[in-house]
Amino acid sequence: MADRPIERLLGSERRLETWTVATFDVIALGLVGVLAGHASGALGSVLPGLGTVPGILAFGYLWVLTLVATRWVLAEGGLSRTESRPLGRLLARGVAGAALVGAAFVGGLGLVGGLITLAPGIEPLSVALLTLFGAVGGALGGAVVGLVLGLFDVGVARTADAVVGRLAD
């Protein structure tokens, strides 16, 4: 039953690991962003301008993008130490997946935001350039976030391996 919606999104193997790692990455990124915004005092001025529905839609979009990218990153093998894949290849795939997520997320938001606010005086070319530059910036930011979160995810997964190994002894 490879055509079930959940399997199309998460794959047929390592579904719990894919669901967990992708959701953790999205939530951790959001939570660290909220904490940093709150600590700097910027949160109070940024949040009211976002709107509830656009915020929920943007978060859902990022969540789905991250699920699809995580499925692709883990398609060759999970995060466990017992998987035979070299760590460098896993991290490289994680950086590439996160760069694509960043490009699709920021570029997508730029495109939708540009189309919604497209006034008679604004050229469609401006929207296209906004989308393009947003996608490039998003890809660069996503690659950095992907490397940091990838290293963290692997570290926690290897810790889980060690905990399970100790429980088995």
Partner 1 sequence: MAALHLLVRTVHVLGMVLLLGGSAFAWNALRVDPDSSFPALYEWLFWGAMGAMLVTGVGNLGVLGAPGPATRWGRLLTVKLALVLAVLLGSLLRTLVVERLREGDTTAASGSLRRLYGATTLALLAVVVLAEVLAHG
Binding region for partner 1 (CB under 8 A) out of 32-40, 106-114, 126-134, 138-146: 32-40
How far apart are the C-alpha atoms of 126 and 64, rounded to whole Å?
Answer: 28
Indicate the helix (H) or strand (E) that contains 52.
Answer: helix 52-73
Nearer to partner 1, 60 or 124 (CB): 60
Helix then strand then coil, % of the chain, to nearest 5: 85, 0, 15
Binding region for partner 1 (CB under 8 A) out of 34-42, 116-124, 128-136, 137-145: 34-42
Residue 61 Cβ, how far from partner 1 at the closest point, in Å?
A: 11
* Short-list 73, 69, 149, CA closest to 103: 69
Residue 134 Cβ, how far from partner 1 at the closest point, in Å?
A: 21
Query: CB-based contacts of 106: which residues, under 8 Å, 6+ apart?
Result: 134, 135, 137, 138, 141
Residue 134 burial (10 A CB sphere; 0-12, 13-18, 19+): buried
Residue 112 Cβ, how far from partner 1 at the closest point, in Å?
A: 18
**Residues in the chain, how many?**
169
Binding region for partner 1 (CB under 8 A) out of 26-34, 94-102, 110-118, 127-135: 26-34
List residues near partner 1 by CB under 8 A.
Answer: 16-17, 19-21, 23-24, 26-28, 30-32, 34-35, 37-41, 43-44, 47-48, 50-53, 55-56, 59-60, 63, 79-80, 153, 156-157, 159-161, 163-164, 167-168
